[in-house]
Amino acid sequence: MLAAAAPWGAGGTLSAQRYWRGSFYPNLSHSTGDGLWIGLHYGRYSPVGFAERPEPNYASINLDAGASTQGSYAFVVDAQAPAWWPGWRAGLAFGAVRVNRLGYYGLGNDTEYSRDSLTTAGSYFYKVSRTTQFARAGVQRRVIGPLRVLAGASIEHTDFRALPGRSVFGSDLAAGVVDPGTIPFTDKVVRAGVVLDTRDNEIDPHRGVAAEALFASGTRYTRTTASARLYVHPLQRLVLAGRIGAEGTGGNPPLAALELMESSARPFVAVGGYYSLRAYYNGRFTGPGKLIGGLEARYALISVPSVVEVKLVGFYDAGRVFERGEAVRLTTTGLHGSGGAELALRLLRNSLLCMGYGHGSDGGRFLFGTSWSY
């Protein structure tokens, strides 16, 4: 599909020599909620070679399928073209995913966690099973310099299922705190926004800014999101990174939307989890408004540019949610904090692996990711 639409220069020659490579390998990973994951990956990508540009490749098509020992599964097809057409970016993804141990602690910023509840009510007291089938498409066009405009659309069908035994989700659903009319829920969304991106590398940035402002209209609700990430390189082996983001919703968003935060790439679970508040379980705090922030110091213990880097990372994350009718604002009141350390390994241009440990008021948890948190 992408090969057939390749850009041609004068005289019918390819304006830049493009070729495709393939990859096929098994995946093995572990997470606190899902246990052991076993899967397969197949991909095709067009590398940028030795060109000095921030995109990871000209284009890629990836298929990932896997399942976990705790009943989660994922089947995702993801096609991305960040640099195939000059001045344009495009993406298309679809799939089916079940997160069988997603966190649900109730709605609001002050929801409590008690280890004793796991003993008296069972290990699923703070968990829920979420199944989603989705299709998502987006396109970005460069306006001037690093400034782009974005447009996209998606459709998602999401269902939640109470796990065996007593649970906060089961109680909230029975009491009407979670609207039973939104379980399951089909969400049709259109989104638009602007993106400013000056990063030197999108996978492992050392300097630059990535900022975005997005507006989305879903089924009976709207969502407005703004975020900024800053990367500075004060010393040869040291990179400092910072992030701040806020989101507000209008109308009557369902639980499926409340548990996610929008971004130009793809939505992610917030607040709580690897991409928002690392030392807390996925979905720890849920509400219609969100505020997240963080600081990181990444020091290269071993550095062979474009070949391998081993980095020691120290981080601090903070975040909170705002309840319905409460204004989303910059504040230090009610913030939940977490700190920790990671060891990151980058191989060649596009492979990154992070492992670490974070600690917050709920305790500590081990961390694993195949990208930076931000």
Q: Which residue in 104, 30, 39 sits closest to 70, CA to CA?
A: 30
Classify 131 as helix, strand or coil. strand
Model confidence over 104-121: pLDDT tens digits?
999 999 999 988 888 788
**Mean local confidence (pLDDT), 241-256:** 97
Q: Which residue in 101, 77, 112 sits closest to 160, CA to CA?
A: 101
Q: In the predicted model, what is the mean pLDDT of the chain?
A: 93
CB 366 within 8 A of CB 350: no
Residue 234: is the preceding peptide bond cis (ω within 30°)?
A: no
Model confidence over 137-147: pLDDT tens digits?
999 999 999 99
**Structure confidence at residue 225 (pLDDT):** 98
CB 170 within 8 A of CB 197: no
How far is residue 90's CA from residue 304's CA, in Å, rounded to a whole number?
32
Residue 143: is the preceding peptide bond cis (ω within 30°)?
A: no
Cβ contacts of residue 197 below 8 Å, gap of 6+?
A: 54, 146, 148, 208, 209, 210, 211
**Mean local confidence (pLDDT), 345-367:** 92
pTM of the model: 0.90
How would you class 325 by CB atoms within 10 Å of its CB: exposed for 0-12, middle for 13-18, buried for 19 or more?
exposed
Structural domains of the chain, ranges and CATH numbers in brackets = 18-369 (2.40.160.50)
DSSP state at residue 169: H
The model's confidence at residue 5, banded by pLDDT at 50, 70 and 90, is low
| Per-residue burial over 211-236, b = 16 or more CB atoms within 10 Å of its CB, e = otherwise | bbbbebebbebebbbbbbbbbeeeee
Query: Is the model's pLDDT at 374 over the cut of 60?
Result: yes
How far is residue 276's CA from residue 152's CA, in Å, rounded to a whole number?
23
Lowest-confidence region among 5-19, 22-36, 320-334: 5-19
Provide Rg for the chain, Cα atoms. 21
Q: Indicate if the alpha-carbon torsion angle 325, 331, 334, 336 is positive or negative.
A: positive
CB 106 within 8 A of CB 170: no
